[in-house]
Structure 1
């Protein structure tokens, strides 16, 4: 099993291309935690800002993509994608693991995320929004924020994604491929 986890591409085509070509092309599934196409008024537009190109890449992905709606995702943007941008939350069960995907703007605090994860019995809780990576286990849930693939707010400025392969989730720098964090999931309950 291999799942690509990405968030906050904000219309930057090459961020998706790097993640897909290096890590996601052979995945079983890609989970996107929102803010897909629009750069957002607080974010800079980088040279690879090309939402139309990103739409084409996502629409032609050989790997199925599940997208939770972010605060910068509009109905107009969603109408361009063949993959629907779902509600603020997506719930996926994959190989017996319950996975919640949300952008994170509606559940900002760890307490809010913990409560939602417990209520939905999530094994893995994926969020984005803050453009900073998180990979930690709290209680029975592993919390993952892959950071931003395009507009990092990490202190080191690295653009990041996550890859869940077998029972291990790794945060990768998409430029250097360096593994920045790693966590093995607990056994299934």
Structure 2
């Protein structure tokens, strides 16, 4: 199972289209963690399971959603409603309520992945306004053979090896 995860694109369209084009033949799921700032009918956002961020004006996107692909249950939210800039605790509790194996969120624009108990948290960073590093990032999660590999890429598709992590799954 492979999922491509983006967040905080803040109005960018060409970059979203490039990411989809780059991964369309390998991805089982495309996730956008909010702050797309695009209308729900925008072609560039159509391939993504999208949630509403604090900068999204359309009510067409839900605040949170669950998705399943390849036996993996995802909980997706932007993060602003769960205080992710301070702690992942509230988000962890919500993940447990939904039975999620993986939580995808944004809001902080900080790329990273970590596991708390049996829940894998992935923040893909931002493809528009990164924080903590210069690269504009998104993430690709690959799950198989008892492992979860989280890789990060810049918008041009170049791997960022120092962010890559593998977790037992």
Counterpart Cα distance in 2 of 1:185 and 1:94? 18
Counterpart Cα distance in 2 of 1:31 and 1:149? 13
Specify the structure having the higher radius of gyration (Cα). 1
Distance 1:177 1:65, change over 3 A: same
> Where does 1:16-165 land on structure 2 (aligned, <5 Å)?
16-24=16-24, 26-37=26-37, 55-59=42-46, 64-75=47-58, 78=60, 85=61, 87-108=62-83, 109-154=87-132, 156-165=133-142
Distance 1:141 1:164, change over 3 A: same
Does the aligned pair in 2 maintain the 1:2–1:164 contact within 8 Å?
yes
Counterpart Cα distance in 1 of 2:70 and 2:26? 17
Return the TM-score normalized by structure 2.
Answer: 0.83
Does the aligned pair in 2 maintain the 1:3–1:24 contact within 8 Å?
no
Q: Secondary structure at the match of 1:153?
A: coil
Structure 1 alignment gaps of length 5 or more? 39-50, 79-84
What is the number of equivalent residue pairs in this alignment?
A: 161
TM-superposed CA distance for 1:176, in Å, is: 5.6
TM-superposed CA distance for 1:24, in Å, is: 4.4
Distance 1:68 1:55, change over 3 A: same
Return the TM-score normalized by structure 1.
Answer: 0.75
Counterpart Cα distance in 2 of 1:148 and 1:22? 17
Distance 1:132 1:25, change over 3 A: farther
Q: Is 1:186 aligned to residue 168 of structure 2? A: yes
**RMSD over aligned Cα atoms:** 2.3
Structure 2 alignment gaps of length 5 or more? none
Counterpart Cα distance in 1 of 2:25 and 2:44? 12
Distance 1:134 1:34, change over 3 A: same
